[in-house]
Amino acid sequence: MAPTTTTLVGPPEIYRSHQNTTVSPPSSTTTITSHPFIDAMISHFNSTTLSPTDPPMGYTENNSATYLSTGNPCLDFFFHIVPDTPPQIVTQRLLQSWQHDPLKTLKLVCNLRGVRGTGKSDKEGYYTSVLWLHENHPKTLVCNLACMADFGYFKDLPEILYRLLEGADVRKKAKEEHLKRSRHYRRYNESKRVGRSRRRSRKEKKSVPREQRFCWR
């Protein structure tokens, strides 16, 4: 059985860029094509006066030196968006990556939810990205709902709808409320247990004759 392939419907930005490009008529003379990278390498081949600026440096959680950015927003989004990343950081890097390359960013969003060996299985980062798409590029999101269900689960669709209706942090609020109820329930059970032990001790004292209690004192 041949493996099925999933095709994403690209954002409108990539189609606009193709429409704006004009095709020049073929010329009769033979032209030599060049590549910007090769041209830059050849032009500065023997130059020793170049002083490229180093990327900004920072520190990891273990105080080890590291680069804060790779210079490619899409690559930064891939490496820096991990489980437990704050939603503000996710949306910030998502915006930068989308401005750099919308189609690759859309693929990276699907990679966040990939649960069958196709991604990171980071559902919170994925839901944050999908809500950002709904707010900024709703048509792109609608055209790719079927593909996103293939990368993740079908239950992701009602979960996305639930968060759109109740708020992006509805699950966080529900978890905090559950923890509060759990702590209150534990305190209530503890007070009941202490009350039962006190009543039991009073009953035991009453069952002992008064003269014997005075002897113990």
- Grouping H, G, I as helix, E, B as strand and the rest as coil, residue 57 is strand
Q: Give the pLDDT confidence of 173-187 residue by residue, as tens digits.
A: 888 888 888 877 777
Domain presence at residue 134: yes
Q: Supply the pLDDT for residue 111.
A: 93
Number of other CB atoms surrounding residue 103 within 10 Å: 16
Share of the chain above pLDDT 70, in %: 70
Looking at the fold, whether 96 and 133 belong to one and the same domain comes out as yes
Angle (nearest 5°) at CA 13 between 9 and 18: 95
Return left, alpha or beta for 84; rule: phi > 0 is left, psi -120 to 50 is alpha, else beta.
Answer: left
8 located within any domain? no
Please tell me whether residues 159 and 177 are part of one structural domain: no
Whether residues 164 and 191 fall in one domain: no
Judge whether 97 lies within some domain: yes
Q: How far apart are CA 159 and CA 48, in angstroms?
A: 57
pLDDT score at 48: 52
pLDDT on residue 11: 73
Which residue would you say has higher pLDDT here, 209 or 139? 139
Percent of the chain with pLDDT over 90: 35
- Regarding whether 146 and 113 lie in a shared domain, the answer is yes
What is the distance between the alpha carbons of residues 162 and 2, in angstroms, rounded to a whole number?
36
Residue 120 has pLDDT above 70, yes or no: yes
Same domain, 113 and 159: yes
Assigned domain for 52 exists: no
> How many angstroms separate the CA atoms of 209 and 217, rounded?
13
Q: Read off the tokens for 131.
A: 């809500």
The answer to whether position 121 is within a domain reads yes
Domain span at residue 152?
65-168
Q: Do both 80 and 131 map to the same domain?
A: yes
Q: Which residues are registered as beta bridge partners of 67?
A: 57
Q: Report yes or no on 76 lying in a domain.
A: yes
Q: Assess whether 74 and 147 both reside in one domain.
A: yes
> For 186-211, how does the pLDDT look when each residue is reduced to its tens digit (9 = 90+)?
776 777 777 777 777 766 666 656 56
Name which of 142-146, 161-165, 167-171, 213-217 the model is least confident about.
Answer: 213-217
pTM of the model: 0.62
> SS3 for 211?
helix
Residues 136 and 117 placed together within one structural domain of the fold: yes
| Diameter of the chain measured on Cα atoms | 126
pLDDT-based confidence at residue 102 (cuts at 50, 70, 90): very high
Number of domains in the chain: 2
- Whether the CB-CB separation of 140 and 11 falls below 8 Å is answered with yes
